[in-house]
Structure 1
Amino acid sequence: MTRSGREYLESLRDGREIWLDGERIEDITAHPGFRATAQSFAGLYDLAHDSAHASVLTRGGVHRAYAVPRSYEDLVARRRAYKVWAEASYGFLGRTPDYMASGAAGFAAQPEVFRGERFDGSAQARAYHQRLAESDLYCAFTITNPASGRGEDDLRVGVVAEKDGGIVVRGAKTIGTGAVFADEVLVGTIEPLGPDDAEQALTFSLPLDTPGLKLISRQSYEARARSVFDNPLSSRYDENDALLVCDDVFVPWERVLTYREVETTAAMWWRTPAYLNFVHQSATRFWTKLEFLTGLAILIARSNGTDQLPPVTQAVGRLLGMVAQAKAFVLAAEASYEEVDGGRGGVRPGQEISFAQRIMAGELYPRAVQDIKLLAGGALIQLPASGADLVHPELGPLVRQYFRTPADPAEDRIKLLKLAWDALGSEFAGRHEQYERFYQGAPHVYLTMQTWAGAADDCESLARACLDGYDLGTGLGTGLGAGLGTGR
């Protein structure tokens, strides 16, 4: 059964080792750097546990993200669940619990992929999915290696010893988004590994209170937020990113998914539906986030009294076109679904469209932010330091007089523009722009992958058909191509 928000918050008080600003945080549910965001995650659990949205978010008492989709209709149902949770944070909580839940469902669809030449993790992959689903757990992941990882002093997570019942690991992983709020963290790698990387070719999942497991948080935007009025997004939806350090951590065998297997450590992402499931969730969230930003643009234009000017209506039209593009990629990936393992593993979103979505999102988000900044103009810069100015006995009348517009009283306008600044120009906003650019990896990776996932052969064949359809002696004709009607 799904957990309540209260049950989720109680699970975070487990003695986990979280560090922020040189301080070990005893209870993230009470600390000003984490507590409001923890409450936001708890709100997601409440939506699934007992709300009008429960029937959309769950089936049979389990979140729909954990289900292995068996049909197009199942993909649509899963996306509708993604959309509800995405809208709850306006798209600003990226790695919500349904993200890794969908990845676990991908593992469960093809557990045989975890069966290598020296280690068989197929049973553990099934158990991992079952454990998360039945207990409604929030699992984060850390799958990126430190930049200075290789060399004599290898900093990547690797095996240092085998013991009865498990292994001992040491090293670090970066960009543990949402990890401080999770029940478990999956530690692995999605980066290419070579034949000499067997010690680092492993994947495992551990509870956050495991001895020797540390999370070192980046600065907390929530901690720096002055109030919800002044920082409406960063004060509540700072999912955080952390460095994970394994200091001789013991990992039981039942928690190990891949071990000393370079091929299966990579295949678990690419040969199961896991990665495409990730894209399905993130593409739905991205679509939602663009809807929110475009709504902000419309409200700003109306507040400025410029919404009827042709250049402004064109700018809004361009943003609405971006929203439609984001939506179209989600719907197209579902409609182009592919069978998994001949149907035995259900279905997955279409790979070609899913991979292309990564390109679109990374390029579209900065353009959308720039377009909305242009619509807002200098109004984003000249804002009162805080909402306290509005209620100050001396300053309040001045602020209310000089910040009003014909469309909005001062308080409404300041509230709108502070929301816009938090979304577009604050340090929190800068993190989100960088995040969306690299959410699905670096461009040189996903652009290269598109060359083999896309329909390059079909494109080449169509161009070749035109070239082959004429020569120096060809006279006038209908001009109809040889490829006409193939339905590619």
Structure 2
Amino acid sequence: MEYRHNLHMHKAAGVHSGASFVASLGDEREVWYDGQRVDVRTHPAFAGVLRELGRLYDLQHSDAHHKDMTWTSPQTGHPVSLSYLAPSTPAQFAAKTRNSHLWMEHSHGQLPRIPDFVANVVVGLYDYRHELGKVDPQFARNAENYYLYCREHDIALTHAIGDPQIDRSASLAEHPDNALRIVERRADGVVVRGAKQLATLAPYCHEVMVYLSPAFFMRSAPEYVIWFALPIATPNLRLMCRESQTEHRNSFRHDLSSRYDEQDAMLFFDDVFIPNHRIFLLDDCQAAAAGFARISAWALYVGQIRFYHRLRTFLGVAALASKAIGVKDFREIGDQLGELTSYVEMVRLAIVGLQNELRPTSGGHLAPGVTLALDAFAAQVSARVAQIVRVVCGSGLVMQPSEADLANPVLRPLLERYMGGKDVDVVFKSRLFRLATELVSDRYGMRQELYEMWNRGDIVRNRIALFESYPGRAGIEANIVALLDGASAALQAAHPVPEST
């Protein structure tokens, strides 16, 4: 599915189905798992998420959702994903929002790097192309061609912006492997060496997009400043995956991890060649720093939609668990459930606010409101949300029967008598509490919680940026100064200082 210049329409077929998506992963990608090179289409560690992604892609072709997830390409006439629509009217933005809600609702907010996410980074890249063109006109053309290529081929992308944790106390001069860098410049492109970490969903993606990490905005060496995109199946690009959460060798239910363990990967760029037409920015640190937030505007917005649906999943599980063990009407439990509901509603209202603060960009599109406050809020409350579920469920998170226990004729009468719940049988209760355990207690839940803490960037940096960029701050400070000046004047009028004699 490679493209060059104006050939991005070659073999374009519009939105993937589940079957065509799985088939499209049959390339020469180098994916390593537990010391072995694997085929993600057939290895059991990848099977659950692959099925789930296929199901989500099939929604684009379903009678119920086709119209809400696709639009017609003006170039080819094919149906293409609304994830790749660059909105220029409120109606187009609303259509994108409905599409994102469908992706997130149908995955229960459990796939943070769902294909809808990085597709919207590509929308941001396309919107920022004119600024890139000020650095080099070819960068603008590359960004536009790449956007069209991704849109017309329904490309699934990961992005890799995190630098490896080697020695972050060292400077790049002291430890050049701390960040990806250019090691050779050629007439037809550049060669890069280094690593990027936690490229979520990478084994299932067609492409990876790499751009400057915000942790290194102040890089002075131009060899560390580059934006580019490459096929996962690029020579000398190696993916090493973490341990899967899906390979359970028992009969306990794992309804979440078996479907949504989207994988994270280290990407090793072992002197990887990047052709010129795949480069979007080179050497210019200021353009990279200014563009990082710009190209993320739509992706960060759909990330909040995903978080909203994740919170709804927590609320549903907590509410059902409280009913299943007869504690819903306990005052302290009602307080916990109310707190969780307040977070759901606050995020919903914030998303509405972002929709109503559409702002025109210099690229001619409409971007949502700034998400910095919601980014910080989500990282701040995510651990608390998990703690609420732990409090509501109590010790039931620790001890539940397996599917084999439930099927055992000796154990089943005991389980019905002592491990059922209020108005629910032991089968429903055990499966519900297993779901809760996955959300908040086991390896899958802990990985998800870590993700929520860090995926929007450092919460401290985000809070500082929010304060420094808050548009109403100057007026607020002026009001306080006026209040102090007015109070001082009134005090002086009421109690004039006597003249000295």
**TM-score, with normalisation over the residues of structure 1?**
0.92
In 1: Cα distance, 2:357 partner to 2:319 partner? 33
Task: State the alpha-carbon separation in 1 of the partners of residues 152 and 323 from structure 2.
Answer: 48
Alpha-carbon displacement from aligned partner over 1:241-290 (angstroms, at most 9, x marks no partner): 110001111111111111222222333323x3x21212111000001110
Q: Which structure 1 residue ranges, 5 or more long, are not aligned? A: 478-488
Residue pair 2:212, 2:292 contacting (<8 A) in 1 also: no
Residue 319 in 1 paired to residue 340 in 2? Answer: yes
Match for residue 375 of structure 1? 392
Q: After superposition, what is the alpha-carbon deviation per residue over 1:312-367, rounded to whole angstroms, capped at 9, x for unaligned? A: 222212111110011111111111111112xx52211112xx11010110111111
* Counterpart selection for 1:328 from 337, 349, 364: 349
Secondary structure of 2:190's counterpart equals strand
Report the counterpart of residue 208 of structure 1 in structure 2.
232
Q: Distance in 2 between matches of 1:62 and 1:461?
A: 50
Alignment of structure 1 residues 298-447 onto 2, 5 Å: 298-341=319-362, 345-351=364-370, 354-384=371-401, 386-447=402-463
Pick the aligned partner of 1:159 from 167, 177, 182: 182
Query: 1:146: which partner in 2?
Result: 164
Match of 1:115 among 133, 142, 152: 133
* AA matched with 2:31: I
Counterpart contact for 1:312–1:375, Cα < 8 Å: yes
Change (3 A) 1:237 1:280: same
How far residue 120 of structure 1 moved from its aligned partner, in angstroms, is: 4.2
Query: Does the residue aligned with 1:407 lie in a helix, a strand or coil?
Result: coil
Give how far 1:181 is off: 0.9
Selected match of 1:186 from 183, 202, 209:
209
**Residues 171 and 195 of structure 1: CA distance in aligned 2, closer, same or farther (over 3 Å):** closer
- Give distance in 2, aligned partners of 1:473 and 1:320: 46
Matched position secondary structure for 1:236: helix
Aligned-residue offset at 1:117: 4.2
Paired residues, number: 468
1:460 aligns with 2:473: no
Equivalent residue number for residue 480 of structure 1: none
Bigger CA drift: 468-477 or 295-304?
468-477
What stretches of structure 2 of length at least 5 have no aligned partner?
Answer: 1-13, 73-78, 495-501
Q: Distance in 2 between matches of 1:437 and 1:225?
A: 30
1:280-299 matched pairs, under 5 angstroms: 280-299=301-320
What CA deviation, in whole Å up to 9, does each residue of 1:287-318 have, x standing for no partner? Answer: 11101100111100100111122222222121
2:125 counterpart letter in structure 1: F
Deviation at 1:230, TM superposition (A): 1.3
Query: 1:34 matched to which residue of 2?
Result: 46
* 3-state DSSP of counterpart to 2:31: strand
What letter matches 1:403 in structure 2? Answer: M
Moved more, 114-123 or 64-73: 114-123
Give deviations 1:441-470, integer Å, cap 9, x for gaps: 011221121122213213212322322322
Q: Would you say 1:19 and 2:32 are equivalent positions?
A: yes
In structure 2, distance between residues paired with 1:120 and 1:249: 21
Q: Does 1:48 align with 2:44?
A: no
Q: Which moved more, 1:9-18 or 1:400-409?
A: 400-409
Does the 8 A contact of 1:37 with 1:235 survive in 2? yes
Residue in structure 2 matched with residue 260 of structure 1 by the alignment: 283
SS, match of residue 448 in structure 1: helix
SS in 1 for 2:273: strand
In the alignment, what sits opposite 2:120?
A: 102
**Residues 1:235 and 2:258 aligned together:** yes
Q: 1:138 offset after TM fit, Å? A: 0.3
Say if 2:237 is the partner of 1:223: no
Question: CA–CA distance in 1 between the matches of 2:104 and 2:433?
Answer: 22
Query: Contact 2:164/2:196 (CA < 8 Å) preserved in 1?
Result: yes
**Of 2, 10, 18, the match for 1:5:** 18
* Alpha-carbon distance change, 129 to 6 in structure 1, aligned in 2, over 3 angstroms: same
Instruction: Give the drift of 1:7.
Output: 0.5
Where does residue 276 of structure 1 map in the other structure? 297
- Give, in whole Å, the separation in 2 of the partners of 1:123 and 1:471: 60
State the distance in 2 between where 1:120 and 1:451 align: 36
**Cα separation, 1, equivalents of 2:192 and 2:142:** 18
- Separation in 2, partners of 1:461, 1:82: 40
Moved more, 96-105 or 47-56: 47-56
SS of the aligned residue for 2:243 comes to coil
Give the distance between the partners of 2:350 and 2:250, measured in 1 at CA.
37
Task: Measure, in 2, the Cα distance between the counterparts of 1:461 and 1:226.
Answer: 65
* In 1: Cα distance, 2:287 partner to 2:341 partner: 42
User: Displacement, 1:163?
Assistant: 3.0
What RMSD over aligned residues (CA atoms) do the two structures have, in Å? Answer: 1.9
Q: Deviations over 1:207-239 (max 9, x none)?
A: 111110111111111124746x61110111011
- Alignment partners' CA distance in 2, 1:444 and 1:199: 28
Distance (Å, rounded) in 1 between the aligned partners of 2:34 and 2:313: 32
Q: Are 1:125 and 2:148 counterparts?
A: no
Check the 8 A contact 1:225/1:231 in 2, yes or no: no
What secondary structure, in the 3-state scheme, does the structure 1 residue paired with 2:163 have?
coil
The 1-side partners of 2:134 and 2:34 are apart by 42
Runs (4+) of structure 1 exceeding 6 A deviation are none
2-structure distance, mates of 1:20, 1:405: 41
Give the secondary structure class of the aligned counterpart of 1:14. Answer: coil
In the alignment, the residues of structure 2 paired with residue 307 and residue 201 of structure 1 have an alpha-carbon distance, to the nearest angstrom, of: 54
| Partner deviation per Cα, 1:164-190 (whole Å, 9 max, x = no partner) | 422211110111011111000012222
Range moving further from structure 2, 412-421 or 152-161: 152-161
What is the distance in 2 between the residues matched to 1:242 and 1:281?
22
